[in-house]
C-alpha cells in the first residue's frame, strides 16, 4: 500500500524578531489604552494625533474603534479634504483608461486627491484650535496635518485588499465604488491607488510611532515603529519567506491542494503566489503577537541590503523577480498568450521592464505539453484573422495549426522571452520564474471557455498582434529556449547546472542537485530559490550570521544580497536523499 505523505508546506511563515511582545498590543482595548497613555504623556495644550491609512482599510471598523477608544476632543477626517468623486474619476481616467485590463502607471500623488479649498479649510480648522487632542484620520491624514505629535499608520496587504474588494467591502482611493466589478477595481488599484499610497507611505515610514495591522477583521495588532524597523532590518540580513496566497481559475488543477495543504473541498486552485513582494505580505513575530505587513515595505526600507547595490540601481525600489505556481493537474490549458516587448510596455503602460518568464515543471503527467513558439511557414495575417473570428463567436481557433506543441516532463525548464506565443497545457505543475510586471499578459485565445464569474475572460488580440515575434518558430525555439540545460560545476555530493534563461532576459537561473552541503553566495544581488526536489533542506550561514532556516518541498524563499555566503543541505527526513533547488538572480 502506498504511503501517504503529509504536507509540510508552511502557509504562514513567521520571521522571528524577538521572543517577547513588549512592543506590541493586540485588540482594540489594548491598542487604545497604549495610545491614550502616550497621548497623556505629551505635555502640550494642543496635541495633534495622526492616524494615516493605506487604501483598503475597513473604515467602518477602524474609525468606530478609534472614536470610541481614543481620547480626543476633535475628529478631523482627511476624506473631507478630497476632491469630489466625479473629479477624482476624471483625474485618474488617463491612467485607468477604458481598457478592461490595462492602464498606465500613474504619476499622481496623494496631494492630487485633495481639493485646494477643502484642504485649506481642514488646515484652518486645525490651526484655529488652541487646545485639546485633535485626531486627524484617513488616507493622507499626515499630509493634511503637516505636523503632529503622534503618528500611527494603518497599513494593509494587497492580497487582503483584493479579498475585501471581491466581497464588496472597500472601494478605490477616494471613491465609494464598492459594487464596481472587481477586475476594474483591481486595475485602478494596480495602476493608480497603490502607486499613490506607496509614494505617500514611503515619506512617512521612518517617522511612524506605531504601525497598526488590521488585516484580520476584528483582530487588530499594533507595534511600535522602532520594533517594526528592527524586524525589517533582521529580515534584510537573513533568508525568509513571504506569506503565500492561492486562487482558483477556470483552468485550475488539484496538485496544490495536496502539496500545499489547501482546502480539499475547493473546486480547484490555479495560481499560487509564493514570491510576489508587491502583493504578498510578511509576518513578523514578537512573542505571541504576529504583525502582518506588506512585504514591499522591506524593499522600501532596505533596498540595497535586500536587492544589492547594482540591482537597486537598475530597478529602484521594486523587487524584480517573481516565483509563482500554475496548476493544471487534472485541469485545462492556460490561455494562449504573449507578453509585451520592452519597448511596447514602456510606451503603452509606463513600465520600465517587461515580463520575460520561464516555466519550470515541478511535476507533469505522461502526455503533458507546452505550447511554445510558432509553427514553420504560417501566415501571420491569417492567424490574427482566425483569432479575431474565434473571439467574435466564429469557428474555434485551431491552436495546433499555428503554435508549436512540445512534450514536457518533470524538471524540464523552458524559457519564454517576451514576444513568444505560449501557454502551459493541462496535467502539469509549473513553477513560473519571471520578471515581476505580472498582469501584462495579452491573452490571444482562451479555448472558448468562461471565467469563474460566468463571463468571457478579456482577450487582448489588439495588443498581442503588435508584439508577437513571428520569427520564433520551431527551429528557433528548439535552439534557443527549450531545455537549454548544461552542467557548469560539480563537487562532493552536488552538481550545478545552468538552466537559462534566454540571453535576452535579465534573470539567470541555476539548478543544484545535491546529497550533501552546497555552498552558495549572493554575489551582491538578491537570490530567490525554490526546493524543487526533496522533503526539506536547511539553509545555514558559515559564519553563524543568521539562525538556521528550514525550507520544505515547493517552498520559495528569498536570500537578501546582504547575506553573502550561505549553504544548503538535506535536512530531517531528507537526509541521505537527493534534493534540488532552482535559484534565480539578476544578471548584472
Mean pLDDT of 180-193: 95
Mean pLDDT of 127-131: 95
Residue 263 has pLDDT above 60, yes or no: yes
* H or E element that contains 443: strand 442-445
Give per-residue pLDDT as tens, 285-301.
999 999 999 999 999 99
pLDDT attached to residue 561: 98
Whether 194 is in a domain gets the answer yes
> Out of 226-230, 384-388, 392-396, which region has the weakest mean confidence (pLDDT)?
392-396
* pLDDT above 90 as % of the chain: 85
Strand pairing class (245-247; 221-224): unpaired
What is the Cα 116 distance to its own chain's centre? 35
Indicate the pLDDT class of residue 4, thresholds 50, 70 and 90: low
Q: Are 244 and 205 in contact (CB under 8 A)?
A: no
Whether 256 is in a domain gets the answer no
Whether 110 is in a domain gets the answer yes
Q: Residues near 401 by Cβ (< 8 Å), separated by ≥ 6?
A: 375, 378
Whether 466 is in a domain gets the answer no
pLDDT attached to residue 451: 82
Give per-residue pLDDT as tens, 514-543.
999 999 999 999 999 999 999 999 999 999
Domain boundary among 235, 256, 290: 235
Mean pLDDT of 108-116: 98
> Out of 176-185, 189-198, 346-355, 491-500, which region has the weakest mean confidence (pLDDT)?
346-355
Q: Residues near 77 by Cβ (< 8 Å), separated by ≥ 6?
A: 63, 137, 138
Domain boundary among 235, 255, 276: 235
Q: Are 256 and 269 in contact (CB under 8 A)?
A: yes
pLDDT attached to residue 1: 34
Mean pLDDT of 73-86: 98
Strands (DSSP E) along 12-102, which ranges?
Answer: 14-18, 24-26, 46-53, 74-77
Backbone angles phi, psi at 390, to 5 degrees: -65, -40
| C-alpha–C-alpha distance, residues 102 and 442, integer Å | 10
Domain boundary among 235, 261, 290: 235
| DSSP letter assigned to residue 36 | H
Whether 473 is in a domain gets the answer no
Residue 496 has pLDDT above 70, yes or no: yes
Cα dihedral sign for 112, 114, 117, 119?
negative
| C-alpha–C-alpha distance, residues 117 and 122, integer Å | 9
Mean pLDDT of 253-263: 97
Whether 240 is in a domain gets the answer no
Whether 364 is in a domain gets the answer no
CATH of the domain at 198: 3.40.50
Quick one: 534 exposed, middle or buried, by C-beta within 10 A (0-12, 13-18, 19+)? Answer: buried
- For 123, the domain range is 14-235
* H or E element that contains 333: none
Helix locations, 363-517, DSSP H: 380-391, 399-402, 461-464, 474-480
Q: Are 159 and 56 in contact (CB under 8 A)?
A: no
pLDDT attached to residue 5: 73
Question: Average per-residue pLDDT in the chain?
Answer: 94
pLDDT attached to residue 482: 84
Name the β-bridge partners of 495: 490, 513
Residue 153 has pLDDT above 70, yes or no: yes
Residue 20 has pLDDT above 90, yes or no: no
Residue 2 has pLDDT above 60, yes or no: no
Quick one: 183 exposed, middle or buried, by C-beta within 10 A (0-12, 13-18, 19+)? Answer: middle
Provide the phi-psi class of 133: left if phi over 0, else alpha when psi is between -120 and 50, else beta.
beta
pLDDT attached to residue 113: 98
Mean pLDDT of 168-177: 97
The total number of structural domains in the chain stands at 2
More confident site: 100 or 208? 208
Q: Are 423 and 336 in contact (CB under 8 A)?
A: yes
Indicate the pLDDT class of residue 501, thresholds 50, 70 and 90: low
What is the Cα 41 distance to its own chain's centre? 40
| C-alpha–C-alpha distance, residues 334 and 269, integer Å | 13
CATH of the domain at 578: 2.60.120.10
Amino acid at each position: 500500500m502506498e504511503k501517504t505523505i503529509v504536507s509540510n508546506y508552511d502557509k504562514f511563515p513567521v520571521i522571528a524578531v524577538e521572543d517577547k511582545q513588549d512592543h506590541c498590543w493586540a485588540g482594540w482595548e489594548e491598542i487604545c489604552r497604549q495610545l491614550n497613555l502616550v497621548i497623556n504623556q505629551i505635555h502640550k495644550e494642543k496635541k495633534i494625533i495622526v492616524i494615516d491609512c493605506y487604501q483598503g482599510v475597513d473604515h467602518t471598523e477602524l474609525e468606530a474603534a478609534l472614536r470610541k477608544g481614543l481620547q480626543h476632543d476633535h475628529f478631523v477626517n482627511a476624506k473631507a479634504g478630497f476632491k469630489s468623486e466625479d473629479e477624482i474619476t476624471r483625474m485618474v481616467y488617463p491612467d485607468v483608461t477604458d481598457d478592461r485590463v490595462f492602464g498606465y502607471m500613474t504619476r499622481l500623488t496623494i496631494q492630487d486627491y485633495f481639493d485646494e479649498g477643502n484642504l485649506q479649510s481642514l488646515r484652518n480648522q486645525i490651526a484655529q484650535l488652541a487646545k485639546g487632542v485633535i485626531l486627524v484620520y484617513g488616507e493622507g491624514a499626515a499630509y493634511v496635518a503637516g505636523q503632529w505629535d503622534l503618528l500611527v499608520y494603518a497599513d494593509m496587504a494587497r492580497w487582503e485588499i483584493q479579498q475585501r474588494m471581491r466581497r464588496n467591502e472597500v472601494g478605490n482611493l477616494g471613491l465609494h465604488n464598492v459594487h464596481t466589478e472587481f477586475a476594474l477595481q483591481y486595475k485602478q488599484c494596480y495602476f493608480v491607488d497603490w502607486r499613490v499610497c506607496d509614494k505617500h507611505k514611503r515619506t512617512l515610514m521612518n517617522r511612524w510611532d506605531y504601525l497598526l495591522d488590521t488585516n484580520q477583521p476584528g483582530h487588530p495588532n499594533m507595534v511600535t515603529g522602532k520594533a517594526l524597523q528592527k524586524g525589517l532590518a533582521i529580515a534584510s540580513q537573513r533568508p525568509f519567506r513571504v506569506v503565500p496566497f492561492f486562487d482558483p481559475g477556470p483552468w485550475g488543477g488539484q496538485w496544490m491542494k495536496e502539496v500545499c495543504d489547501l482546502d480539499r473541498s475547493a473546486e480547484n486552485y490555479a495560481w499560487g503566489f509564493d514570491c510576489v513582494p508587491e502583493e504578498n505580505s510578511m509576518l513578523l513575530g514578537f512573542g505571541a503577537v504576529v504583525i502582518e505587513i506588506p512585504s514591499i515595505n522591506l524593499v522600501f526600507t532596505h533596498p540595497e541590503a535586500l536587492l544589492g547595490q547594482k540591482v537597486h540601481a537598475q530597478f529602484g525600489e521594486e523587487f524584480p523577480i517573481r516565483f509563482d505556481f500554475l496548476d493544471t493537474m487534472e485541469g485545462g490549458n492556460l490561455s494562449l498568450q504573449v507578453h509585451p516587448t520592452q519597448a511596447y510596455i514602456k510606451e503603452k503602460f509606463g513600465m520600465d521592464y517587461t515580463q520575460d518568464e520561464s516555466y519550470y515543471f515541478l511535476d507533469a503527467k505522461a502526455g503533458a505539453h507546452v505550447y511554445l513558439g510558432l509553427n514553420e511557414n504560417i501566415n501571420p495575417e491569417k492567424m490574427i484573422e482566425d483569432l479575431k473570428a474565434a473571439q467574435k463567436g466564429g469557428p474555434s481557433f485551431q491552436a495546433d495549426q499555428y503554435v508549436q506543441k512540445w512534450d514536457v516532463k518533470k524538471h524540464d525548464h523552458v524559457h519564454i522571452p517576451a514576444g513568444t506565443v505560449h501557454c502551459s497545457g493541462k496535467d502539469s505543475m509549473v513553477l513560473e520564474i519571471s520578471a515581476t510586471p505580472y498582469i501584462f499578459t495579452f491573452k490571444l485565445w482562451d479555448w472558448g471557455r468562461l471565467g469563474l464569474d460566468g463571463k468571457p475572460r478579456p482577450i487582448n488580440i489588439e495588443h498581442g498582434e503588435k508584439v508577437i515575434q513571428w520569427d520564433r518558430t520551431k527551429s528557433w525555439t528548439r535552439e534557443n529556449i527549450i531545455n537549454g540545460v548544461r552542467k557548469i560545476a560539480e563537487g562532493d555530493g552536488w552538481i550545478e547546472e545552468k538552466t537559462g534563461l534566454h540571453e535576452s532576459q535579465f534573470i539567470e537561473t541555476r539548478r543544484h542537485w545535491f546529497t550533501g552541503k552546497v555552498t552558495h553566495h549572493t554575489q551582491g544581488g538578491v537570490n530567490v530559490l525554490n526546493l524543487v526536489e526533496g522533503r526539506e533542506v536547511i539553509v545555514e550561514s558559515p559564519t553563524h550570521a543568521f539562525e538556521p532556516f528550514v525550507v520544505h518541498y515547493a517552498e520559495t524563499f528569498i536570500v537578501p544580497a546582504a547575506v553573502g555566503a550561505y549553504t544548503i543541505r538535506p535536512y530531517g527526513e531528507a537526509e541521505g536523499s537527493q534534493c534540488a533547488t532552482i535559484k534565480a538572480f539578476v544578471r548584472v
